[in-house]
Amino acid sequence: MKILVTVKEVAAVDDEFEIDGLAIDDRYVTADLNEWDEYAVEAAVQIKEAHDDVEVVTATIGPSETDETIRQALAKGADRAIRVWDEALDDAGLLDPETKAEVLAAVAAEEDPDLVLTGVQSADDGFGATGVTLADKLDMEWGAVVNNLDLDLEAGVASVHRELEGGVEELTDIEIPAVLTIQTGINDPRYASLRGIRQAQSKELAEYSLTDIGLDAAGIESPLEQTSLYEPETEGDATVFEGSPEETAAELAELLAEKGVTS
Amino acid sequence: MSVLAIAEHRRGELRPVSLEQLAAGRDLADELGSELHTAVIGGDVEAFGAELNREGVDAVHTVDIGEEFNHDVYTQVVTQLATELDPTVLLMPNSVNGLDYAPAVANRLDRPLVTDVVDIDAEDGLTATRELYGSKAETTIDVHADQAAVTIRPAEWPTIEADGDAAIEAFDATIDESAVKSTVKGFEEVGGGDIDITDADVLVSVGRGIEEEENLDIIHDLADALDATVSGSRPLIDNGWLAKDRQVGQSGKVVTPDVYIAVGISGAVQHVAGMKGSDTIVAINTDPNAPIFDIADYGIQDDLFEVVPALIEQFQ
Ligand SMILES: Cc1cc2nc3c(=O)[nH]c(=O)nc-3n(C[C@H](O)[C@H](O)[C@H](O)COP(=O)(O)OP(=O)(O)OC[C@H]3O[C@@H](n4cnc5c(N)ncnc54)[C@H](O)[C@@H]3O)c2cc1C
């Protein structure tokens, strides 16, 4: 069986930052593996460990600079990685969920996975829609916001918990092949071992252009155009206590006492 | 031209976002000079239909099919409704269930999808406002298409309360059963602990800023000193450092204590959804730009590892 996991490099932004045009100035940005994808990778690797003959392949849309991040997934147990990049994707600007899903669907068409795991959302653009769009493009079943997964390969069913709002989980049986979008908390993502990190260096990381995966670069066009980026205005009118920790703590203690909070 | 908003319900109750969509939808319809339609699928559609008949709604479409949400059914029904009504803007909730069918519907209708919008207008083409990088930045997006699908963030628009005089119409959907490949088996409440954080008058809530499980000791000490209850943001619960039912937020509990002290919590929208109704909100965070300060009444912009011990000392 083959599991395809979509992984993405996301930008983590410093506490203080400056905006340069339509992007955050590079100086304030660090690259990281998307938090939700880490849980998806772990879920795939756990299935691999529990069953015979499972291959875990990662798929990424991104330039070569993202290779280092992708290797984190390889170091944690994925078998090989695929990365798709093309100038046309760079030119398309803001990639909407449909465009991303189209590219990932082309990769999936080549790989023919039995299960696709994606993160619920990415920490930077937060669309939360690529996984389900991908499922529909692949004509696969799906489940969004999965925080518990029990796979019955013989029956061809994934019994999942979908985490709804307000501390309620929906218990659902999903026919596989399927795309599941994975929520944090489903497992406890492992740290990459030194051995894993060493092994990751020699694992295959294939790079494809759009043409390589059968897509027409001219057809890549995002219908969404980002026209501005700004820091949201603070709506808050919080009273901020100033001074040393002892001074601010004393002020807060006084306030809490006023509010009737005491032991 | 029209705007069509798809309602959401769970276990017999319409969810508030269903009525918030009507406010967003009415504004859009006014800008487009068009009608506002809403639809409800499954459950007690008659009662839901009557409830959705609010001021400004031109038509309510009821689809009497199934009891609870099933994404295969919703995807088919919403696709059929949208094909029939051909709305300029199709509105759906940016809820967990919304995200479980809206992308498939948008794909089938070949419409661009903009999710989690916090503002939207149709004055000069469709323009949506979204947040990036966990609310640290905001962006406006022009949608280059005549028709779009949009999911709106819950609790960003008011609910429309006044009654309306909409036409209530039953819509007959045809379901291809062979394409229904998921079965909802039931629901489960998350538990795990022994305390109901929604009962607490004072909550000391701890976030990822605490860094290590061992460091939680100072949070428990603070809670003891204040006779308060400990709750937390999601990462703490994901790590297993606090029981599941201590999670505050969208997927956790909604709390309304007299005092909520957020320690090392950034204030992500899903967290804020669970605590913004607290009487007095205090935030302790090193990042002066953390969104938590937008809703806090009092703040200390400093290291929790210095402030919390100093605070404990104040109460001893
Ligand atoms: C579908 C869905 C549902 C979700 N449901 C929930 C939910 O119910 N509840 C929830 O909480 N989240 C929920 N989340 C997750 C949410 O998006 C955030 O990831 C989470 O709330 C972040 O938690 P945090 O603020 O503790 O961590 P972070 O965002 O990492 O923030 C940590 C904060 O600590 C501060 N800090 C660091 N060190 C110190 C120090 N020494 N002193 C003081 N401050 C410090 C930092 O400046 C930062 O602001 C959900 C997400 C999704 C996608």
ipTM over 0.85: yes
Residue B59 scores a pLDDT above 90: yes
Q: Do A129 and B228 touch (CB under 8 A)?
A: no
What contacts A258, CB < 8 A, 6 or more positions away?
A: none
Residue B1 or residue B54, greater confidence = B54
Give per-residue pLDDT as tens, A104-130: 999 999 999 999 999 999 999 999 999
Phi, psi of B145 (to 5 degrees): -165, 155
* Min distance B315 CA to chain A CA atoms (Å): 7
Nearby residues of A249 by Cβ (< 8 Å), 6 or more positions away: B300, B307, B310, B311, B313, B314
- CA of B264 relative to ligand 1 center, distance in Å: 8
**Sign of the four-CA dihedral A216, A222, A228, A230:** negative
Cβ proximity of B190 and B197 under 8 Å: no
What pLDDT is recorded for position A216? 94
pLDDT value of position A235: 74
Which pLDDT score, from 0 to 100, does residue B316 have?
A: 84
CA torsion through residues B298, B304, B310, B313, sign = positive
Contacts of the segment A246-251: beta carbons below 8 A, 24+ positions apart: A246/B310, A248/B300, A248/B302, A248/B307, A248/B310, A249/B300, A249/B307, A249/B310, A249/B311, A249/B313, A249/B314, A250/B310, A250/B314
Mutate to test the pocket of ligand 1, among B135, B247, B271, B305 (most ligand atoms within 8 A of CB): B271
- What is the average pLDDT value for chain A, to the nearest integer? 96
CA distance B258 to A260: 10
C-alpha span between B236 and B213 (Å, rounded): 8
The strand order across the sheet containing B182-189 reads A205-208, A80-84, A55-61, A2-6, A115-119, A178-182, A141-152, A157-163, A168-175, B182-189
* Token pair of A78 as six digits: 């994925």
Q: Is B210 in the pocket of ligand 1 (CB under 6 A)?
A: no
Contact residues for A182 (Cβ-Cβ < 8 A; gap 6+): A36, A39, A40, A43, A117, A118, A119, A120, A146, A147, A149
B positions 13-32 inside 8 Å of A (CB)? none
> What confidence tier does A263 reach under pLDDT thresholds 50, 70, 90?
low
Q: Do B143 and A248 touch (CB under 8 A)?
A: no
Question: What does the pLDDT average to over A139-164?
Answer: 97
CA dihedral B287, B291, B292, B298 (to 10 degrees): 70
Report how far residue B38's alpha carbon sits from residue B47's, in angstroms, rounded to the nearest whole number.
Answer: 14
Tokens 């607290």 label which residue? B278
pLDDT digits (tens, 9 = 90+) for B141-178: 999 999 999 999 999 999 999 999 999 999 999 999 99
Question: Do the Cβ atoms of A13 and B136 come within 8 Å?
Answer: yes
What are the pLDDT digits (tens) for A201-256? 999 999 999 999 999 998 898 999 999 999 988 778 899 999 999 999 999 999 99
Distance CA B108, CA A152 (A): 29
d(Cα B220, Cα B204) in Å, to the nearest integer?
Answer: 8
Average pLDDT score over chain B: 97
Task: Say if residue B192's pLDDT is above 80.
Answer: no
Q: Is the pLDDT of residue B31 over 90?
A: yes
Q: Could you give the percent of chain B with pLDDT greater than 90?
A: 96
Whether residues A236 and B294 touch (CB distance < 8 A) is answered with yes
Inter-chain touch A126–B131, beta carbons under 8 Å: yes
Instruction: Let me know the angle formed at the C-alpha of B129 by B128 and B131, rounded to the nearest 5 degrees.
Output: 140
Between A19, A128, A246, which is nearest B137 by CB?
A19
Is residue B233 in contact with ligand 1, taking CB distance under 6 Å? yes
What pLDDT was estimated at residue B194?
79
Distance (Å, rounded) from C-alpha B70 to C-alpha B184?
7
CA–CA separation, A44 and A54 (whole Å): 9
Q: With 90 as the cut, is the pLDDT of residue A82 above it? A: yes
CA of B252 to the centre of ligand 1 (A): 13
pLDDT > 90 fraction of chain A, expressed in percent and rounded: 93
Task: Using the mean position of ligand 1's atoms as its centre, give its distance from the Cα of residue B253 in Å.
Answer: 15
Protein residue with its CA nearest to atom 18 in ligand 1: B268
Contact between chains at A229 and B138 (C-beta distance less than 8 A) = yes
Phi–psi pair at B190, nearest 5 degrees: -80, 140
pLDDT in tens, B98-114: 999 999 999 999 999 99
- Interface check B96 vs A, CB under 8 A: yes
- Whether A262 shows a pLDDT value over 80: the answer reads no
What is the DSSP-derived secondary structure letter of residue A141? Answer: E
Mean pLDDT, residues A169-193: 97
- Pick from A13, A38, A120, A248 the residue to mutate for probing ligand 1's pocket: most ligand atoms within 8 Å of its CB: A120
Of the candidates A58, A1, A64, which has an alpha carbon nearest to the alpha carbon of residue A34? A58
Q: What is the pLDDT of residue A234?
A: 78
- The C-alpha atoms of residue B17 and residue B5 are separated, in whole angstroms, by 10
The Å distance, Cα B269 to ligand 1 centre, comes to 9
- What per-residue confidence (pLDDT) applies to A257? 94
Helices (H) and strands (E) in chain B, counts: 9, 18
Query: From the list B104, B116, B226, which residue is nearest A128 (CB)?
Result: B116
In this predicted structure, what is the pLDDT of residue A122?
96
C-beta atoms surrounding A50 within 10 Å: 10
CA distance A132 to chain B (A): 6
